[in-house]
Amino acid sequence: MLFTKNANRIFRESIDDYHRHDNVDQPIANPYPTGSIDHLLYLKNWIDTVQWHLEDIIRDPQIDPVEALRIKRRIDSSNQERTDMVEYIDSYLLDKYKDVKTLPDAKINTETPAWAIDRLSILALKIYHMRSETERTDVDDAHRNACQKKLDVLLSQQKDLSTAIEELIADIEAGRKYMKTYKQMKMYNDPSLNPVLYGQK
């Protein structure tokens, strides 16, 4: 099975599993073996899915400010988890292709495979929720039709991005491109790098 076909299947599974409860506090029940790429992909999308709904909640104009701050800090923590998961997936792929001999004229890609997979995970969420909009019965045809057009674009984008990821993986496997990863070095969560935090000492 193509890598992205499997990834898209796992993303749909994770999203469907989440929406059986539709609760940001629902514990994850990852069905895949720890250490497998499938486990990482499911966990990655679960984090994205929970964060998607936290972003919805925090935009409630009637939300209690104290609760909004709590959720904002939870979103910050989720962003760090999301970044960590991307790096785990890249580490998995780096290890998988560590014995590939790169060609003398091999090139580096603008982003790593895992950051493209991150975008694929978010696309799966957009597709799920846009499809839900096309199925609503409490809106008019104009709304559903407009959402159907957006859904068509998202599905086309998913197909194109999946193709691009497959081509990147094929290039890495053939030595035409090589992977090089960088830690994201997020600064806002680090008390030694965020001036608001270290300024309080």
Cβ(40)–Cβ(89) below 8 Å: yes
Per-residue pLDDT, 99: 96
Alpha carbons 180 and 119: distance in angstroms, whole number: 18
Question: To the nearest whole percent, how much of the chain has pLDDT over 70?
Answer: 95
| Residue pair 134/151 in contact by the 8 Å Cβ criterion | yes
pTM: 0.90
Helix (H/G/I), strand (E/B), else coil: 107: strand
Reported as a single tens digit per residue, the pLDDT across 164-177 is: 999 999 999 999 99
Beta bridge partners of 177: 107
Q: What's the whole-number mean pLDDT along residues 131-148?
A: 97
The answer to whether 43 touches 85, Cβ cutoff 8 Å, is: yes
Domain-wise residue ranges, the chain: 3-198
Residue type at 200 in one-letter notation: Q
Q: CA–CA separation, 6 vs 162, rounded Å?
A: 11
